Amino acid sequence: MSSDDQDYQRVEAQACPMSTCAVPAGSPCRTTNGKVAVQYHTARFRLVPRLAKVLNVPTPAVRWPGSVWSELPRPVELGGEPVGHVRIGYARASTTRQSLDSQLDALSGAGVIRVFSEKISTRATRRPELEAAVKLAREIRSSAVRVTLVVHEHKRLGRGIELAALAEELKANDIGLEFLAGELQGSHDPSGVVFTVLAALSGMEREYIRDRTLEGHESARKRGKTIGGASVTDQDMLSMAPHLREQGVSLRDVAKRLVITTGKKKGQHPSPATVLRMLREYGEQTAAPEPTVPDGVYQPTVQARNDPSEQGRRWS
């Protein structure tokens, strides 16, 4: 059994001689029921001298063994112009509650050969399905076939720096990009200026969303509404926590001694962060106001009081 990752490309460089398969060059072997075979037929991989004595050559995951077989673009000689065109789709939703149906329907109608989809936030540093889509696009492009990554709209790919990095990767591998909807609908050359525009638009959009959120919070506060989670503190906590801290008890131990008496977390202990916030708020509420000094009355600093040259002065 061979273990070279490039063996499948060497095998697919020629058509399969098996009469029951007879697939052209560039495609994996197929079974009699029209599925992608889990391994290449012996008569085919033995046409490659270095594979003539191995027992079998498995079909790589990139060819999706067991899936419905379809002919892939046939390879051309190295250095020639790209022949054929493969379209790979990608769909993404930010949360598990959002549906991908509309994106998947649009991609299905766009003639893609494979769709990668996932439900993951744009803030995630890694998106496995997008990475898999780009990897497959690279492998197909390395066979001298033109490849385009098809997406419903640019927001599905990412924002800001992440989108700029993706654009650089597509550009380096000569992979095209197409949007089915949105402001940038249409096909785009990876070497064009569109990727710079994408990064700028995405960054601006995130700032716009953030500004709208902050404006909403400020408007709610003016109306007396509370922003954030429900308070878990009560009068017993407010009296016990400062007392324990004055005795030198750590925040963690203070939290363990307090018990929430209301709400969904009833019976649980507050977190040390909650205790710290509670103590800060308590300190602000109980802080003694600074004494006011009548106009015209000299009020010395501590340093002035200790200055020998000022000892003869009477302090008010």
Residues tagged active-site: 94
- Interatomic CA distance for residues 184 and 197, integer angstroms: 9
DSSP reduced 3-state for 286? helix
Place of tokens 């780009």: 134
Q: Which residues are CB-neighbours of 179 under 8 A, at least 6 positions away?
A: 151, 152, 153, 154, 185, 186, 188
- Cβ atoms of 74 and 106 within 8 Å: the answer is no
Query: Tokens in use for 116?
Result: 């990668």
Q: Closest Cα to residue 282, out of 311, 308, 258, 307?
A: 258
CA atoms 58, 59, 61, 65: torsion sign: negative
The amino acid that residue 243 corresponds to is: H
In a 13 Å sphere around the CA of 106, the CA atoms on its Cβ side amount to 18
